[in-house]
Amino acid sequence: MAPGITTNEVAYMPPSTNSEAPSLYSGRNEKELQENTKKFLANYGTKFSNDVVVGSKGLYVYTASGHRVLDWTSGQMSCLLGHGHSEIVKTIADHAASLDHLFSGMVSPPVISLGERLCNLLPPGLDKAFFLSTGGESNEAAIKMAKVYTGKFEVVGLGASWHGMTAQALGTQYHFGRKGQGPLLPGMMMLPAPNAYRSIFRRLDGSYDWEAELEYGWQMIDMQSCGSLAACIVECIQSSAGMHVLPPGYLAALKKQCEKRGMLLIVDEAQTGVGRCGDIMAIAHEDVVPDILTLSKTLGNGLPLSAVVTSAEIDRVCMERDYCFYTTHVNDPLPAAVGDKVLEIVVRDGLVEHSRAMGKVLHDGLHRLKEKHGCIGDVRGRGLMAGVEIVEDCVTKAPAIDLGREIGDRAYALGLWANLSSHKSFGGTFRIAPPITIREEELREGLEILERAFESTPGTLPLR
């Protein structure tokens, strides 16, 4: 039995992987690659790292300079089973050779199988699915579906949310990306971001009063609304906000508020879905069934694949009202086959239970780190999703963005990538989400590197 897993949990033992750097681009001149990056690649909103990644395998990425780095963000929070998983590789190769892409009005066995497997994993009321490419695309489709079904147009999102770069998804996104393009879509409104660490809504004992905050938020929405509220979209863990978990009971309360106003509830499980948080879907933790569920990232293990899942009744009404989200790559066979294989592996290998067990190891280690360093203001998350917020002072909670960057850079130099917080909007928070195939020894390796990074970075405020 694997260390740290009790007798009533499934012990996941991944196949051994070659720790040597993959050779696909090994030997490329790093300086030339960096020069060509500057010369030919356009900006899309982020600065490129100096290192050029030439390979990935398992839980590691490899740079042109020969640096091996433990990947604690699963790429862009997407490689749920790790890089280069042998069964995923075979599925891609088989379908690239024999069933890759079709006319969008055609259907194929992998799409049918993925729809069946996914809907059977979800509670009744999430009965029918179709498949797209990105999370933004699936949220766009879900919002349009809600508008067509309800006949209304106003959409509510949460502060600090991230839902994508397409027009309607961006309209409900309040973390970043709204500026510089003129008016966004009309009818988009915002509830306060549920932030237990920083919210000003407090009870007399100082605890977070999310009920009062949520009630206040809906009062503001009702005053703004012109009477055409169609939907509310929410993440169960606000990753881009800094890994803030919805308080227990929040999602159920949100659904009641939506039902009261004749709105649909859309849950975006781009990062939380498919076992990441210790449940097959994060909605299972609160036993809440949304009207529409969207998936992306984790479903495709790094390939562009997303899903929109809804009830048979909503699907029926939308079909009668000529709902259309017809794209070039809707229900493509190759990515669908990968998604089907991902779900098969997650269930077959007990990876939901494994994620829950490894999540305990991760969070215990991060809380021990917090006990040693006064610059860690908060540790939060669930399962194999964790946020570590870096502050200048634990009393004032003033963000220490530069210090967080320095710790992240030091960890990277020591061999751990655990930081997507380089932009000021992330507030100096480490966002950790390793592949759910991670073994306990790999978790402890990363925790040890992170501890060394804190200990060797000036200003981390060791506790006395």
- Residues catalogued as catalytic: 162, 235, 268, 271, 297, 431
With residue 407 as reference, give the H or E element that holds it: helix 401-414
Instruction: Say which residues have a Cβ less than 8 Å from residue 10's Cβ, sequence separation at least 6.
Output: 349, 350, 353, 354
Calpha distance 433→305 (Å, rounded): 19
369 vs 366: CA distance, rounded Å: 5
In this structure, what DSSP letter does residue 21 have? P
Phi, psi of 78 (to 5 degrees): -120, -35
Residue 381, phi-psi category: left (phi > 0), alpha (psi -120 to 50), beta (remainder)? left
* Cα distances (angstroms) measured from residue 427 to each of 160, 247, 383, 462: 11, 20, 22, 21
- Which of helix, strand or coil describes residue 74? helix
Which residues fall within 8 angstroms of residue 450, CB to CB, at 6 or more apart? 369, 411, 416, 418
**Residue 144 has which token pair?**
């349009």
Cα separation, 180 vs 178, in Å, equals 7
Three-state SS at 294: strand
Phi, psi (rounded to 5 degrees) for 38: -65, -35
Q: Where are the beta strands (DSSP E) in 72-160?
A: 128-132, 154-158
d(CA 430, CA 418): 6
The Cβ-side half-sphere exposure at 35, using a 13 Å CA radius, reads: 5
Locate all alpha helices (DSSP H) within 122-249, ordered by sequence.
Answer: 135-150, 167-171, 210-224
Largest alpha-carbon pair distance within the chain? Answer: 67
Contact 201, 215 (CB under 8 A): no
Bridge partners (DSSP) listed for residue 130: 308
Which 8-state DSSP code applies to residue 16? P
* Helix-strand-coil split of the chain, %, nearest 5: 40, 15, 45
Could you give the 3-state DSSP secondary structure of residue 176?
coil
